[in-house]
């Protein structure tokens, strides 16, 4: 899945940034983003919140003046809030609402705004129900998450324990959102957007189209679209990429029948020239989900055995709803030799001196027999070619017993394994269509 949030990129080849007009009608409301977290400043993770927030809120008529990332200490957060408050009417802070000692965002915002905190009965009651203990037995650090501003409101969290906070200070507002993307993003879409529409008189979001590509780079997508599906200047284009997958989102500021028809026409033109590389035309369907959907449509199942990929393919599919029905088995070992032990291939049937691809084919046959899965994938040992480059032999076994082998280059590190996983999923996608 594209589980990480990634940087926004505007492609001049598709639309010049200077040519993108602000949404029509009201003057845009300026806001600032303050992203908290030491892990971002040391490079452990990339900031994806800014990209998501700016992309989501622009269609409301909200203009991001700037975004900053600060340490998650009380003094750093306070300084950032005071500086932003002096410049814009709306400040959005992410992170630091959890139960640990370094989650100090709510206290910092209370001090900066002068708005006291109090326990909210509804949040406290929900916490009692969710954790299964009465409030007088709740640990203090957990109970602290029921504190909300006395002036303002809170935003319900359908995916976690930390509610969003809204500090309303006259003509200015500070919003605090939880840090995990799986909590922040639905909260923004479901509760923050309606609140901002009411509070600042912003319009509801415009219409957009997200097309998800795999197996083709951004520059090639850009060039092909310029030739076959040129865009008008009012279409805002953004993209995000990771591990061989590319998402392009095309947005128009007003949601009406004419603009929806324009985006539908764009989808048809893009599919006509790049359809072989498109696996979804929405922002929610992941490559993993798409592959499992194709299996389900065929009423088929899959088994996987991995050596050179370290179990990343099975892990990627296992996290998707429905995997328990469609993924019949997953074997992971460091070498082909250990895989054959897991699959109980007898010594007299194991060709010790055979080429890696022959061993991988034998493992694929044994895997299919052991699991009764019509589709099987085996990722063999990591080998080196005559130039010293690392690769793996992969065998795709079809329901009719036919086997196709393919060689994939292997890069080091997590990014390399993520790219390999994407390649494997893409090749399975192509065979399942």
300: domain CATH number is 3.90.950.20
Residue 257: per-residue pLDDT: 93
Same domain, yes or no: 152 and 249: no
Q: If you write DSSP's letter for every residue of 212-235 in order, what string do you get?
A: EEESS-HHHHHHHHHHHS---TT-
Mean pLDDT in consecutive groups of 10 residues from the start of the chain, 433 residues: 32 29 56 94 89 85 92 94 94 93 92 94 87 86 91 90 92 94 89 89 77 93 92 84 85 87 96 96 89 96 95 91 92 94 91 86 95 96 89 96 94 84 96 94
Residue 28: per-residue pLDDT: 72
Say how many domains are in the chain: 3
Residue 415: per-residue pLDDT: 79
Residue 20: per-residue pLDDT: 33
DSSP element (H, E) containing 292 = helix 287-297
Asked if the structure places residue 6 within a domain, the reply is: no
Same domain, yes or no: 304 and 327: yes
Give residue 227's domain range.
Answer: 207-280
Residue 101: per-residue pLDDT: 82
Residue 27: per-residue pLDDT: 60
Q: CA 285, CA 39: separation in Å to the nearest integer?
A: 29
Tell me how crowded residue 203 is: count the other CB atoms within 10 A of its CB: 16
Asked if the structure places residue 13 within a domain, the reply is: no
Same domain, yes or no: 271 and 414: no
Asked if the structure places residue 7 within a domain, the reply is: no
Same domain, yes or no: 113 and 81: yes
Q: CA 297, CA 123: separation in Å to the nearest integer?
A: 42
Residue 175: per-residue pLDDT: 97
Alpha carbon of 111 to those of 213, 248, 392: distances in Å?
A: 46, 41, 57
Q: Last residue of a domain, which of 145, 179, 200?
A: 200
CATH of the domain at 106: 3.40.980.10
Sign of CA dihedral 70, 71, 76, 82: positive
Residue 313: per-residue pLDDT: 95
Residue 373: alpha-carbon gap to chain centroid? 30
Closest to 332 in 3D by CA, of 341, 319, 324, 323? 341
Same domain, yes or no: 345 and 211: no
Asked if the structure places residue 1 within a domain, the reply is: no
Same domain, yes or no: 59 and 142: yes
Asked if the structure places residue 244 within a domain, the reply is: yes
Same domain, yes or no: 310 and 406: yes
Residue 203: per-residue pLDDT: 66
Same domain, yes or no: 189 and 41: yes
Asked if the structure places residue 113 within a domain, the reply is: yes
Q: CA 19, CA 335: separation in Å to the nearest integer?
A: 55
Structure token digits, residue 335: 């070498």
Same domain, yes or no: 212 and 189: no
Asked if the structure places residue 17 within a domain, the reply is: no
Sign of CA dihedral 265, 270, 276, 280: negative
Asked if the structure places residue 233 within a domain, the reply is: yes
Q: Last residue of a domain, which of 168, 200, 232?
A: 200
Same domain, yes or no: 145 and 238: no
């Amino acid at each position: 899945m594209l589980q990480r949030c990634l940087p926004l990129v505007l492609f001049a080849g598709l639309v010049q940034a200077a040519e993108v007009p602000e949404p029509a009608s009201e003057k845009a409301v300026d806001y600032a983003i303050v992203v908290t977290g030491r892990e971002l400043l040391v490079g452990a993770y990339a900031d994806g919140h800014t990209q998501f927030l700016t992309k989501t809120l622009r269609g409301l008529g909200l203009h991001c003046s700037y975004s900053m990332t600060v340490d998650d200490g009380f003094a750093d957060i306070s300084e950032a809030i005071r500086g932003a408050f002096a410049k814009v009417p709306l400040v959005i802070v992410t992170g630091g609402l959890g139960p640990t000692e370094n989650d100090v965002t709510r206290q910092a915002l209370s001090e900066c705004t002068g708005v006291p905190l109090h326990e909210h009965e509804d949040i406290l009651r929900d916490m009692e129900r969710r954790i299964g203990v009465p409030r007088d037995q709740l640990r203090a650090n957990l109970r602290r998450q029921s504190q909300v501003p006395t002036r303002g409101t809170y935003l319900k969290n359908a995916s976690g324990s930390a509610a969003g906070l809204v500090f309303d200070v006259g003509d200015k507002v500070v919003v605090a959102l939880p840090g995990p993307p799986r909590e922040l993003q639905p909260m923004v879409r479901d509760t923050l957007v309606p609140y901002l529409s009411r509070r600042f008189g912003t319009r509801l979001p415009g219409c957009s189209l997200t097309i998800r590509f795999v197996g083709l780079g951004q520059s090639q997508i850009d060039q092909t679209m310029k030739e076959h599906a040129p865009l008008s200047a009012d279409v805002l284009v953004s993209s995000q990429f990771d591990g061989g997958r590319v998402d392009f989102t095309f947005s128009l500021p007003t949601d009406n029948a004419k603009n929806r028809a324009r985006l539908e026409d764009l989808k048809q033109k893009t599919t006509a020239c790049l359809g072989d590389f498109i696996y979804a035309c929405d922002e929610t369907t992941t490559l993993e989900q798409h592959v499992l959907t194709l299996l389900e449509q065929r009423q088929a199942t899959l088994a996987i055995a991995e050596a050179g990929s370290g179990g990343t393919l099975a892990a990627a599919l296992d996290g998707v709803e429905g995997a328990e029905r469609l993924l019949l088995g997953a074997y992971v070992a460091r070498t082909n030799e250990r895989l054959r032990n897991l699959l109980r291939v007898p010594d007299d049937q194991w060709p010790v001196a055979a080429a890696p691809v022959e061993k991988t084919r034998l493992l694929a046959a044994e895997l299919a027999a052991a699991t009764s899965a019509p589709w099987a994938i085996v990722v063999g040992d990591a080998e080196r070619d005559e130039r010293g480059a690392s690769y793996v032999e992969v065998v795709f076994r079809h329901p009719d017993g036919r086997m196709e082998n393919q060689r994939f280059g292997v890069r080091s590190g997590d990014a390399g394994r993520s790219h390999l996983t994407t390649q494997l999923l893409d090749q399975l996608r192509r065979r399942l269509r």
